[in-house]
Amino acid sequence: MTATVPTWVPVLFVALAWLGYRLSLPRTVRPGKLLLVALGMFAFSLYGLVGTFGLAPLALGLWLLGYALSMTLGARHFTARGLTAVGELVRMPGSWVPLALLMGIFLAKFVLGAAMAMRSPMLHDLAFIAGMSAVLGVLSGGFGARALAALRCVAQAPAA
């Protein structure tokens, strides 16, 4: 099976692993930059879902449900603790959560791509569709929750 994996896939894996490592370090960042990452993961996740299952109501509905649950109930698990506003920037402590989210989305998209390449009957199994849809929604929602927490941190900071 590895002979049929496109060359860019391991390159993307290494790039995402490197990015995840960088995000594990403390840093000061503009909340807008986190919002762009969240929008990118939103689009990447949704593109993978629609590219695999089309506009299937079950897939889209569970993806949206997973995204919404991640943004609300799961936000405390995905957002960095100890955010500090520094003017219009936010100081973020290091966290391995972004790496886990990146690797999770990569793995889910890899599984979907492999299933499509092999024309797997799993692609028509409701449990598989439901599971992959929910997982992609939750993982991409994790990035949204992190960006929202940073935006709130800056907005709630006392004016200097």
For the chain, the structural domain boundaries read 26-156
> CB-side exposure of 138: number of CA atoms within 13 Å?
14
Low-confidence ranges of the chain (pLDDT < 50): none
82 Cβ contact partners less than 8 Å away, ≥ 6 residues apart: 93
- Which pLDDT score, from 0 to 100, does residue 74 have? 80
- Which pLDDT score, from 0 to 100, does residue 77 have? 86
pTM: 0.88
Q: Which two tokens stand for residue 26?
A: 């403390």
- Which pLDDT score, from 0 to 100, does residue 3 have? 66
Percentages of the chain per state (helix, strand, coil), in multiples of 5:
75, 5, 20
Handedness of CA 95, 96, 100, 106 (dihedral sign): positive
- Which pLDDT score, from 0 to 100, does residue 73 have? 86
Q: In what order do the strands lie in the sheet with 27-29?
A: 27-29, 89-92, 84-86
- Which pLDDT score, from 0 to 100, does residue 160 have? 56
- Which pLDDT score, from 0 to 100, does residue 54 have? 93
Per DSSP, the three-state class of 103 is helix
Instruction: Please state, for a pLDDT cut of 70, what percent of the chain lies above it.
Output: 97
